[in-house]
Structure 1
Amino acid sequence: MKSLPLVRHPLSLALAAALSLTACGGDDDTVAPSNDVVTVPEAPKGLGTADTAPVAAEATTPPYVDNSATNQRGDARYATKETNAGVRLVAGFLDIWQPSTLLVDAGAAAPARDGFPAVAASTWTGIPGDATDGKVLNAAVHDANIAYVVQATTNRTEAQALAAYLDDRRGKTYSIADGMGPLTAAWRSASRQTTTITGIPADATTVKYDDGGIENGVGGSANAEFGQVVDLIGNIGENGSTEPAKRFYKYARPWRWSTSVKVVPALEPAKSTTPGTDGGFVSGHTAEAVRKGLAMAYVVPERYQEMLTRSLVLGENRILAGMHSPLDVIGGRIQGLAVAAASLSTGQNKDARVAARAQARSTLMTATGSANDAALIAFAHSQTTAQDPYADHAANKATHRRLMTFGFTAIAATNKPAVVPKGAEVLLETRLPYLTADQRRVVLKTTALPSGFPAMDDAEGWGRLNLFDAADGYGRFDGDVAVTMDASLGGYNAQDVWWNDIAGAGRLAKLGTGALRLAGANTFTGGVALSAGTLQAASSSALGKGDVHVAGGRLVIESAVAVSGAYTQLPGTTLDLVVGGGGAGRLAVAGTATIAGGTLNVRFKAGQTPSVGDTLQLISGTRLLGKFTTITVDGYKVTPNYTATGLQLHIDG
């Protein structure tokens, strides 16, 4: 093999080469030298800056994670949005409903305390029209809120009634643990969770049954293999009472608003007879499920999105039970997010979270016989939807999105920029471990829901956070993004998939030894710069709408991939084409394809077997310059045919 040296210029590299071809199982064929000089384009420049997601001004928006201690159950009689962070979280509800007074226990006056004046006793009955309840400010939203419950409970199936009963009466941690799918048995065994609620007793319509099991499991030193995990779950609810919000907002439960709401008969004994202490907004069950689901997702990121959805399904079951409305559940979700983030970032779990994650990983790997992180991830997703209702990623994504808004339409501007609450980035720490804290904040910003939905436009941004989509990577590149993955750390550091449809004008730079797979319909225009590790293109537009520059590492083409700009490949790199039906494994370049060396490896998907004499059209472009140093085709000898606009391989044998 003869070759000319790589010539470097200020704006380009030049290579004139006589390149050799090695076909798997065949002899080396020497290609005649070329006198053409291949000028190698520079890597795409992108925007030249990174995106940021600053915290809202703390002077006007006190961060919940720094003020969570103001949300105490014992202060419920005095709580206001000015004095209580838990009440302030969900203040967007005041656009829909105006509570009449600061609520105190029915019939009991609240004395003056800590500078607050004495408050007259409330006579709230919970009956619509009672002046002491409050005032509906947005009748359309309120009416839709109650109508949703009427329809849901009227059309409720027996299976839904059972699920609603179980999620009402069982301990929340035990109940949502079934979101662990294939890991559920190992989780419950290691934590030593138990429940006494396994179905609907025959006399449940007249007898209230409480769970006598061990909800979280056994913690501390009494459980050497899982005690730290159990303790983290137990601590996640610190400063998480929903009573201050319930007492302040005084919004009745749906069955008090309408007699058409049909409470699950087996839950009739669980209904409160004291409306003044039984507000519907916010849903305490939902708040608890969300914060505990997030704690479980943190220590078992292998089931991150599934646990998020399972937590919101418990909220939906509160509606199907007739006990709560969609707005109640939305409020519970918002509070649950903030409480979990506060516990993990500034609270009792701040210094315990890393050890708890490590313990969960180690114990579950042993319990499932997983030799490494990749095996644990595979085991966690090893069941079909018949066994694991959360096994379908796309269906899960749709369910989670539906349960964030329950079909409400926007009541305010939908184009307000998203803000990210202080400390929220901790919620993605184990799911996107290869990103920095600042990058995780940007992910949260670029995947947030639009503004304008009822009760969700809180000043800090908790209501718009979409953690499910955030776990699927960036939603936009509004700045350049550099991803460095260290495969030696295992898990998602070694291999991850971004499913989102990524827009924006920024550039993606892939560095490090890990592998990142892009599977969305991407439209970002800043280009792709692959410097190290593996980048996998799993959709036709995975590489966006800019130039693609492979200076190091390995680019894997799994689909019929289009490059909207130029394609460049440098020596020492690999282009891996996985050929299959529908054009899979083909690279169509709208601009110039510059091949300044490197390796082309061709392999075939299962069931795709070429015949001797076939010709494979693998690369096409407006113009093709240069050649690969080496071409290997698994199991075949081939002859390459370079043309001015593409590359074909003839199957020789």
Structure 2
Amino acid sequence: MTHAFATAVKGAVAGFAAVAMLTPLAASTASAATTTGSNQQSFIQYDVAESPAADGGKGLTSLLTDFNTYWTPNKGATDAGVATLQHDDELTESINNAAFGADGKTAQDQRALSDAQMNSTNTLYDALGPTIGGYFKSDMEAGKLPKTAAFLEAMDKSVSTGDAKGTYAHPRPYVDRANYKGEKIDLKGLKSTLDIKKVPGYENFDWGDGEAPDNEYEGLAESGSFPSGHTTFAFTQGVGLSAILPELGPQIMTRVSEAGNNRIVLGVHYPLDILGGHIAGQYGVATAVSGNDKAKADAAAARTELVNYLTAQCKADGHGDTLEACIANTGASSDKGYTNGFTDDVVKTAVTDRKSAIDAYTARMTYGFQQTGKAGQAAVVPDAAVSMLDNVAAFKNLTADQKKAVLAATEGDSGYPLDASSEGWARINLAKAYSAKVTLDKSGKVVKVEPGQTAPSVVTVNTGDNGNNNGGNNGGSDNNGNNNGGQTDNNQQGNNGQNGHNGQNGQNAGTNNAGNNGANGQQGSNGSNGNAGTNNGKTNNGTNAAKTGKLSRTGTAIAGIVVAVAVIAVAGAAMVIRRRRA
């Protein structure tokens, strides 16, 4: 593809591509996105063409309507939104300025430039640690993982930000926001233009595609900032990879949250934009995978291919005969895996191990915003999110409701910006869910979830015997009787294929219980179900809701999403699409 061709396509009106769209089963029809307009509108069309969704992206736009609480398109800040937008602005300046250093050539700036190229292999590989990440990178670049590559490419097409960008029409941090695209904008005292330090490498940006460098600040100046397209891309890749490689899911999710944060480092996005992309990526991948048998089969095939390749290389290099053994041997899930020394006003501690990675990810789920809605509301778990736990070996025998309880117990609190309209997607914390030890009672109820483990596991305990409350985490009910749950279990079976990590047998997840009532150091627990409690030996029959007391509104089922492959009619257009999505 020549640079002249690329330039011509960038300026062309929309409609140049015929796209096989994702469609609801009820309609079972394909549609192509068609839009016309200026270069800025064609930018939006390229985004839609790259990432078709069932409705051209309107579903995502609907999930993000809480943004209207803070911003009115083409008018400006709302009275209720000024404080939130001021925090948004201040964090943008703080993160950008701190990363810039003396000359905009810091290690963090260079990492941000690499992520900006939207090469998912380069972004994702170091989430797996130096050894396994090296295997992944070399195999992907050598074309040895075609099913994995195809699956991740399909996940990129699972959601579109184009409609949302056009709908919310929010200006970039470095432009004259008071006079945006010919409109007078009422900022209600907020700065007209933020103090953004432009990174030299983004003013002369090499996409790595053989074309002449671009000034991305100029190219993005009139395109909407919300939600972030680059962050959406990063999260489709991270959620996709963690779904098929959940053994390192916490590190993968933290790495793509870093990629989203790097858009702030470059000064082209705000934290709210990143939160919007976070929602978009999770929603897109989970909806695509959960709603289509072919997508599920493709995910399974990609996992088999990836695990087999990584395991073979690990074995050849003496790191163990299984992937789990290799992860343990190389320290990929501890302090020899993904690390990141960059800190800011949100992530104040360097990432040095799995726990600190999960902490960083969790901090970027809210970016320190004040809650603008009601805190402590009942858990909301989208139905489609359950599919993200399907490949966790330890969770194989869990039912959909049990997996929902795990997601509920690990989700973030309600009331933060964008939560109100997100139908639960803003709260889902996959980094915690992928690292959880899950405790079931004899009836199969999830009674305790403990994230941050080296490997996920499921154990079963007896609860309520002799009126004892085993565990002390009773979701708000009184702790009557003796507490027998002093330690975590050392002897239980229930890790389903995790090769005996943490002293577990590794088989029959959650079915065998080596001793009860804390006799073997188990952490007996009545869980965090606050509806009925478990006192005086009675089991809790309330609604299953680890953390909030109930699973109210477990999510809006995204009915019958069919994953289709986008057919781009113009040769080489995919590279142009990638260039213009931000």
Provide TM-score, normalisation by structure 2: 0.60
1:437 offset after TM fit, Å? Answer: 2.0
**Which whole-Å deviations, capped at 9, do the CAs of 1:263-284 have from their partners, x for residues lacking one?**
2221124435466851110111
Contact 1:235/1:343 (<8 A) preserved: no
Could you say which residue in structure 1 is the equivalent of 2:136?
187
Give, in whole Å, the separation in 1 of the partners of 2:289 and 2:64: 21
1:239-258 map, 5 Å: 239-256=158-175, 257=177, 258=193
Could you say which residue in structure 1 is the equivalent of 2:560?
none
Could you say which residue in structure 2 is the equivalent of 1:320?
265
Contact 1:281/1:328 (<8 A) preserved: yes
Q: Which residue, 122, 134, 152 being the options, matches 2:95?
A: 152
SS in 2 for 1:468: helix
Q: Please say if 1:94 is aligned against 2:68.
A: yes
Q: Which residue, 183, 190, 195 being the options, matches 1:260?
A: 195
Query: What code does the residue aligned with 1:452 have?
Result: G
Give, in whole Å, the separation in 1 of the partners of 2:443 and 2:321: 36
Query: What code does the residue aligned with 1:351 have?
Result: A
1:457 offset after TM fit, Å? Answer: 2.2
Q: Which residue, 285, 310, 322 being the options, matches 1:372?
A: 322
Give, in whole Å, the separation in 1 of the partners of 2:70 and 2:31: 23
**Which whole-Å deviations, capped at 9, do the CAs of 1:431-460 have from their partners, x for residues lacking one?**
233322221112112222111101122252
SS in 2 for 1:236: helix
Contact 1:309/1:400 (<8 A) preserved: yes
Q: Which residue, 155, 165, 186 being the options, matches 2:113?
A: 165
1:565-644 map, 5 Å: none
Query: What code does the residue aligned with 2:137 have?
Result: R
Contact 2:226/2:272 (<8 A) preserved: yes
1:333-352 map, 5 Å: 333-347=278-292, 349-352=295-298
Give, in whole Å, the separation in 2 of the partners of 1:422 and 1:280: 29
Contact 1:98/1:136 (<8 A) preserved: no
Give, in whole Å, the separation in 1 of the partners of 2:264 and 2:28: 27
Q: Would you say how many aligned residue pairs link Structure 1 and Structure 2? A: 405
Query: What code does the residue aligned with 2:166 have?
Result: R
**Which whole-Å deviations, capped at 9, do the CAs of 1:83-107 have from their partners, x for residues lacking one?**
811211211111111113xxxxxxx
Give, in whole Å, the separation in 1 of the partners of 2:484 and 2:91: 46
Contact 1:90/1:458 (<8 A) preserved: yes
Could you say which residue in structure 1 is the equivalent of 2:39?
none
Could you say which residue in structure 1 is the equivalent of 2:231?
286
Give, in whole Å, the separation in 2 of the partners of 1:68 and 1:175: 35
1:246 offset after TM fit, Å? Answer: 0.8
Could you say which residue in structure 2 is the equivalent of 1:234?
153
Identical pairs, percent: 24
Could you say which residue in structure 2 is the equivalent of 1:460?
423
Give, in whole Å, the separation in 2 of the partners of 1:417 and 1:534: 32
Query: What code does the residue aligned with 2:195 have?
Result: S
Q: Which residue, 299, 305, 322 being the options, matches 2:244?
A: 299
Query: What code does the residue aligned with 1:381 have?
Result: G
1:463 offset after TM fit, Å? Answer: 0.9
Give, in whole Å, the separation in 2 of the partners of 1:395 and 1:90: 29
1:137 offset after TM fit, Å? Answer: 4.8
SS in 1 for 2:365: helix
**Which whole-Å deviations, capped at 9, do the CAs of 1:556-590 have from their partners, x for residues lacking one?**
9899888899xxxxxxxxxxxxxxxxxxxxxxxxx
Query: What code does the residue aligned with 1:263 have?
Result: K
SS in 2 for 1:350: helix
Contact 2:442/2:460 (<8 A) preserved: no
- Larger RCO (CA within 8 A; separation ≥ 6): 2
Contact 2:230/2:260 (<8 A) preserved: yes
Distance 1:239-1:534 versus aligned 2 partners, 3 A rule: closer
Give, in whole Å, the separation in 2 of the partners of 1:242 and 1:168: 17
Query: What code does the residue aligned with 1:296 have?
Result: L
Give, in whole Å, the separation in 2 of the partners of 1:323 and 1:237: 21
SS in 1 for 2:197: coil
1:337-416 map, 5 Å: 337-347=282-292, 349-369=295-315, 370-379=320-329, 381-382=331-332, 385=335, 388-389=338-339, 392-416=353-377
Give, in whole Å, the separation in 1 of the partners of 2:514 and 2:521: 21
Contact 1:71/1:85 (<8 A) preserved: no
Could you say which residue in structure 1 is the equivalent of 2:576?
none
Q: Which residue, 110, 123, 139 being the options, matches 1:175?
A: 123
Q: Which residue, 408, 432, 438 being the options, matches 2:401?
A: 438
Contact 1:405/1:453 (<8 A) preserved: yes
1:352 offset after TM fit, Å? Answer: 1.2
Contact 2:461/2:517 (<8 A) preserved: no
Q: Please say if 1:143 is aligned against 2:62.
A: no
Query: What code does the residue aligned with 1:499 have?
Result: P
Structure having the higher strand fraction is 1
1:364 offset after TM fit, Å? Answer: 0.9
Could you say which residue in structure 1 is the equivalent of 2:460?
509
Give, in whole Å, the separation in 1 of the partners of 2:312 and 2:512: 40
Query: What code does the residue aligned with 2:460 have?
Result: A
Give, in whole Å, the separation in 2 of the partners of 1:183 and 1:69: 42
Give, in whole Å, the separation in 2 of the partners of 1:295 and 1:86: 18
Bigger mean CA deviation after superposition, 284-293 or 184-193: 184-193
Two-structure CA RMSD over aligned residues (Å): 4.4
Give, in whole Å, the separation in 1 of the partners of 2:60 and 2:410: 24
1:426-575 map, 5 Å: 426-431=387-392, 432-473=395-436, 481-482=444-445, 498-499=450-451, 509-510=460-461, 522=473, 533-534=492-493, 553=514
SS in 2 for 1:397: helix
1:112-131 map, 5 Å: 131=75
Distance 1:450-1:395 versus aligned 2 partners, 3 A rule: same
Contact 2:155/2:240 (<8 A) preserved: yes
Q: Which residue, 213, 216, 227 being the options, matches 1:271?
A: 216
SS in 2 for 1:464: coil
Bigger mean CA deviation after superposition, 379-388 or 407-416: 379-388
5+ residue gaps, structure 1, are 1-62, 101-130, 194-217, 484-496, 502-506, 512-519, 537-549, 566-590, 592-653
Structure having the higher helix fraction is 2
Give, in whole Å, the separation in 1 of the partners of 2:112 and 2:241: 21
Give, in whole Å, the separation in 1 of the partners of 2:269 and 2:412: 23
1:356 offset after TM fit, Å? Answer: 1.5
Distance 1:231-1:415 versus aligned 2 partners, 3 A rule: same
Distance 1:365-1:500 versus aligned 2 partners, 3 A rule: closer
Give, in whole Å, the separation in 2 of the partners of 1:99 and 1:440: 39
Distance 1:521-1:163 versus aligned 2 partners, 3 A rule: farther
Query: What code does the residue aligned with 1:336 have?
Result: G
SS in 2 for 1:254: coil
Distance 1:510-1:556 versus aligned 2 partners, 3 A rule: closer
Could you say which residue in structure 2 is the equivalent of 1:57?
none
SS in 2 for 1:352: helix
Give, in whole Å, the separation in 1 of the partners of 2:452 and 2:322: 27
Rg larger in 1 or in 2? 1
